[in-house]
């Protein structure tokens, strides 16, 4: 069973940076779609950034483009999300999600992803 473990969340001031990490355990596939989602209280879970072996990085959420960068280290089986110039509206629980054995993401709906981490909290104060 594949497991995903996020880390790197915390409480920061507006304008500061954080880097989230997601370590994937017990998988051997080289083709995948992995993503970062976030969810604030009372809101639906929304996709922030996506990386797939076929398309590379994508940022469906226009509000994070030019501030957030998704990347991956295959040797370490780790997905990253570098978040710069954080704003209070970025406050949320951030989740790592993945589907393996495919080169392209099957959409950005949470139901498209087979594996999820437990989440890491990001809190940005003004």
pLDDT for res 118: 97
pLDDT confidence of residue 75: 87
**Phi/psi class of residue 107: alpha, beta or left (left: φ > 0; alpha: ψ in -120 to 50)?**
left
Residues with Cβ within 8 Å of 66's Cβ and at least 6 positions away in sequence, in order, are: none
Strands 56-58 and 46-52, how do they pair? antiparallel
What pLDDT, on the 0 to 100 scale, is given for residue 16?
Answer: 98
Which pLDDT does position 26 carry in this prediction?
Answer: 80
18-25 and 10-13 beta bridge pairing: unpaired
pLDDT of residue 28: 64
Mean pLDDT for back-to-back runs of 10 residues, the chain (126 residues):
95 98 84 96 96 93 93 92 98 96 92 96 97
SS (H, E, C) 65-110: CCCEEEEEECCCCEEEEEECCCCHHHCEEEEEEEEECCCCCCCCCH
């Amino acid at each position: 069973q594949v497991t995903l473990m996020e880390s790197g969340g915390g409480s920061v001031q507006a304008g500061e940076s954080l880097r989230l990490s997601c370590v994937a355990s017990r998988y051997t596939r080289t083709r995948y779609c992995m993503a970062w989602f976030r969810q604030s209280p009372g809101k639906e879970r929304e996709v922030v950034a996506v990386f797939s072996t076929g398309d590379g990085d994508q940022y469906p959420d226009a509000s994070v483009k030019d501030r957030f960068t998704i990347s991956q280290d295959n040797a370490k089986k780790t997905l990253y999300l570098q978040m710069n110039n954080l704003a209070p509206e970025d406050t949320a629980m951030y989740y790592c999600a993945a589907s393996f054995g495919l080169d392209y993401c099957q959409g950005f709906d949470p139901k498209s992803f087979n594996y999820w981490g437990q989440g890491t909290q990001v809190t940005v104060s003004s």
